[in-house]
Amino acid sequence: MIDLTLTGVLRLTSVQKLVIDEVDEMLNLGFRSQLVQVMELLPENRQNIMFSATLTQDVENLINDFFFDTQKIVVALHGTPLKNIIQKVYFTQNFNTKVNLLKLLLQTDTQMSKVLIFCGSKKTADRLHSLLTPDFGENCGIIHSNKSQNFRFNSVRKFNEGEIRLLIASDIVARGLDISDVTHVLNFDTPDLPEDYIHRIGRTGRADKIGTAVTFANEAEKLYLSEIEKLMKILIPIEELPDNLKISEIYTSEEKPNLYDKEYLTKPKQQNLNSGAFHEKKEKNKKVNSGSPSKKGKTADFLKKAKQKARKRR
């Protein structure tokens, strides 16, 4: 749009309404300068409507800078969890244990018929997809920003129409997409931002239907979980791990501790200054420092002249 307006192909002088959906995410993605540029090209007399599930300080600043006489319409208070979403959390050790737990739940829980699985990164999503494909085959899809647009549209269409049971995703689909009848949202990685958790679990429990949000959290992610509970002002029930779950002792490279942060090497022992063998100084070390080089030169000249005078006297 910026390119079209700058080249004169598109004119915005007759625009009467400006609508920005997911305005906080637009700012987070780095589109602040483009939004500002568009608003400066629009006529002053217009209606502005912005939608967001979270009202951040950046959004507040944008409103204060460009709008006046604003009205705020709150459908639900920020951080309020939906009542028709059942939430639960499993505490797990590592990535491989999470994979084992996910496979076990999918194989034993028949109610998990349409599951949206969120991962914290594209790398984790690809790795999880490769591990689930041998068991679930074409019933498992994946979507993230490294996939082509046609691939993403096709994956969402198959999942929405019920052709595939599982859809592994990054936060690219946490907002904006309305996917119907999602029975379970599974947070394979606990999101580090509480607001992202609200957006993720909001993909289920829609249209007055009951949904379930399951979160896997390892030791490092417990802090993220506490921030989520603090935002929602509730405690998420903790589920016991199944007895037949295979606990893995293998950690990924990202999960291994940084050895440089710990004092694994033994400290050198301090020597006792009052002990040790006594030895005489070598003859060369008994010489007295005569000072700077200039002083040393003067002393040498003085001794040389003194010797010459002594020879003459002789």
**CATH superfamily entry for domain 85-250:** P-loop containing nucleotide triphosphate hydrolases (3.40.50.300)
Class (C level, CATH) for 2-66: alpha beta
- How far is Cα 118 from Cα 183, in angstroms, rounded to an integer? 14
Q: Is residue 270 scored above 80 in pLDDT?
A: no
Q: Is residue 286 scored above 60 in pLDDT?
A: no
Query: Residues 227-231: what's their mean pLDDT?
Result: 92
Query: Matching CATH topology for 2-66 and 85-250?
Result: yes
Extents of the domains making up the chain? 2-66, 85-250
Dump pLDDT digits (tens) for 149-204.
899 889 999 999 999 999 999 887 766 677 889 999 999 999 998 888 988 998 89
| Summary mean pLDDT of the chain | 83
Q: Is residue 92 scored above 70 in pLDDT?
A: yes
The pLDDT > 90 percentage for the chain reads 46
Q: Is residue 284 scored above 60 in pLDDT?
A: no
The pLDDT > 70 percentage for the chain reads 78
Dump pLDDT digits (tens) for 109-137.
999 999 999 999 999 999 999 999 999 99
